[in-house]
Structures are given as structure tokens and as C-alpha cells.
Amino acid sequence: MLGIKLTQNFRTPYLAKNPSEFWSRWHITLSNWFRDYMYISLGGNRHGRVREISALILVMAVAGLWHGAGWTFVLWGLIHGVYLAAYRFIPSDRLQALMLVGSRYKFPVYQGLGIGLFFALTVLAWIPFRAPDLATTLEMYRAAFSFAGVGEWVAQAKWIVVIGGSAR
């Protein structure tokens, strides 16, 4: 209406099938800034695999610090750095099979499974981002991956259904 054109900053990032695609869709202007001014300045992918992995992980740790000054944010960035490094360096045929993407997996069911798998990994990475401290983060991961944690989820779900409300 005023003739101002804004850059699109998010493009359905939760429909990404892998970490590289996620970061090309999530906070696009900030991701491009980190790529252009940090990753490339650190050498990018021009100086071997070790340097590339180091650059990816360092840039994502700094991206975590950009979001807040705390170890939980650094951990969040490190997790995403590890996702990016793993995606970049796991042999493509194995990764394609793991993430259900690639030329063999063009059917919509595989695409949906790939999106679901990476969405689950993304949700796990949000835990330290939202937790108040590292101790709480570790406790949340412990609860999420233990049978006791699953029991707590089921008990909470039954309680929600009984009162017809939401968990808060």
C-alpha cells in the first residue's frame, strides 16, 4: 500500500527435509548474514572438511549467542551446527536413506516422513533454546528419552482429556 517492499524472512521452515533446507527457509536475512559475513570469512568450504565443520559449528554457536547470552543458546546453536555438519558429511546415499530424500524418495509419503523426521530433530533442538538453564535442559532431555518421561506424558495427556483443557 505504501510501496515498501520487504524481504521475505520465513518460507515454511518446518516443511524442510534437512538442516540445510531449514536454514534456507528460517530467518532468511539473518541466515544469509551469518553465511556471508562469518562462514565465508572463516573459509567456508574452501580449506578442507575439518575447517568447514569447524566453521559451521562456530557460526551456529555464534548464532545461538545472537539470540541470547547464555549457555542454553550456545547449546542450541551447537546442536544445529552438528546437524548441518552431519548433513554435509554423511555419505549422500546413507543420508538420503536416513532422511528419506533424494531421487529414490520422490513419493509424497517419503517426503512427508522426511519432513516429520527433521521436524522431530528441530523440536529436540528447541529444548535448550526455551529452557532457563542447562540443568533444566538436561532434565528435559532425560525425561523425554526415558520410559518414566513417556509415562508422565501419558498421565498429563489423560489429565488434559479429563478437564478438556490444555497443558500449561
The pTM score is 0.78
Residue 36 DSSP symbol? I
pLDDT digits (tens, 9 = 90+) for 18-71: 899 999 999 999 999 999 999 999 998 898 889 999 999 999 999 999 999 999
Q: What is the dihedral of CA 147, 152, 156, 158, to 10 degrees?
A: 50
Q: Which amino acid appears at position 1 of this protein?
A: M
- Catalytic, out of 27, 47, 67, 80: 67
Residue 80 annotated to the active site = no
Per-residue confidence at 145, pLDDT binned at 50, 70, 90?
A: confident
Residue boundaries of the structural domains of the chain: 14-130, 132-168
| Residue at grid coordinates 521475505 | 8
Cβ neighbors of 90 (< 8 A, separation 6 or more) are 98
